[in-house]
Amino acid sequence: MQQIFNFIYKNSNRLLFLLLLGISLSLSIQSHSYHRSKLISSANFLSGGVYERINNVSEYLNLRTQNDALAQENAKLRSLLFNAKDTSAIPKLDSLKGVIPSDIIVSKVIHNTFNTHENYLTINSGSLQGVKSDMGVINSLGIVGVIDNTSSNFATVISILNTKSQINAKLKKSNHFGSLTWDGKSTGFVQLTDVPRLASIRKGDTIVTGGQSVIFPENINIGTVDRLYYEDKTNYYKIDVKLFNDMTSLGHVYIIKSKNRDEIINLEKKKEKDE
C-alpha cells in the first residue's frame, strides 16, 4: 500500500499529464464524428456572448456591403412580385393542409472560420427562436451550411467548407444529382461527386440543391461548374463548383425550418424497422 502511494506521489506529474492528455484526445476524436460533444462548442453562453459583443463592433465595418446585398435581394423579390399575374392576390396556400411547408428564421453570423479543414459558423439565434440541429442555413446568394449544436440563444453551423459536410445537389438543367463535399483546399470552391457520366455537363452550368434531402428545399443556388474531372475507375464525374457565396464574408442568414421534416424522418424510420 505504501509503495502504491509512493508511486503515485513520485509520478504525480506524469499521471496528471496522462489524465489530461487522455481527456483532450478523447474530445478530439469525438469532434471528428458528425455530431459532436455539446461541451466544447462556441454555441455556449460564454463564447457565444463574447462573439456577439465582438460582432456588435465589427459589423459596422461592412455595413455598406451588407446594405447593398439586402437591397439587391429586395429588388429581386420586388421584380418577382411585380411580374406576377395578379399583384393583389395573396400567395396560394397548400390547399390540403393550409400551411406553407417551410418557415424561415432570420439570423446573423457572429463568428466565422474558414482556415481549417473543419469550419464552423456561430449564429445568434438558438433553441428559444426555434432553431434545432440539422436545419439548413442559406443566405440571399446560396447555401451556407447545416445547424450543428444549439444552446438557448446561439447555434453553431457546419459550414459547407467542412470536410464532414455532405449535401445532396443536382444539375439545374438535367436533374442529375450527386453529393456536395469539400476537399479542404480553396474557400471559393466545393466538389460535387458521384454524378454519372451520362450527364452532359458544360463549364458554367448551375448547380442547385437536390430534392432528396430533408434539410434543404429543392432548387436553392449553390454555384457554377468550374472544372470537370472524370474518374476512370468509377465512371463518375468529379466537378469543381465555384460558389456564388463568398464564404469569407457572411452577414445575415436564413434558417429553413421544414415542416414536413419530422414526418419524412419518421416514415423512413418505420420503413427501416419493417425491413
Residue 136 grid cell: 439548413
Nearest residue to 118 via CA among 36, 226, 203 = 36
Q: How far is the CB of 107 from another protein (least distance, A)?
A: 17
DSSP state of 129: G
Our CB check for another protein shows the closer of 54 and 84 to be 54
Q: Does 113 bind another protein (CB under 8 A)?
A: yes
Give the separation between CA 120 and CA 162, rounded to whole angstroms. 8
Give the separation between CA 23 and CA 28, rounded to whole angstroms. 9
Choose, by CB under 8 A, the member of 2, 13, 87, 95 that binds another protein.
13
Element (H, E) at 178: strand 177-181
Our CB check for another protein shows the closer of 160 and 214 to be 160
Choose, by CB under 8 A, the member of 21, 63, 75, 104 that binds another protein.
21
Choose, by CB under 8 A, the member of 115, 273, 274, 275 that binds another protein.
115
Q: Does 120 bind another protein (CB under 8 A)?
A: yes
Q: Does 62 bind another protein (CB under 8 A)?
A: no
Contact 195, 236 (CB under 8 A): yes
Q: Is the dihedral of CA 225, 134, 249, 38 positive or negative?
A: negative
The contact set with another protein (CB under 8 A) reads 12-13, 16-17, 20-21, 23-28, 30-32, 36-37, 40-42, 44, 46-47, 50-51, 54, 113-118, 120, 122, 156, 184, 186-187
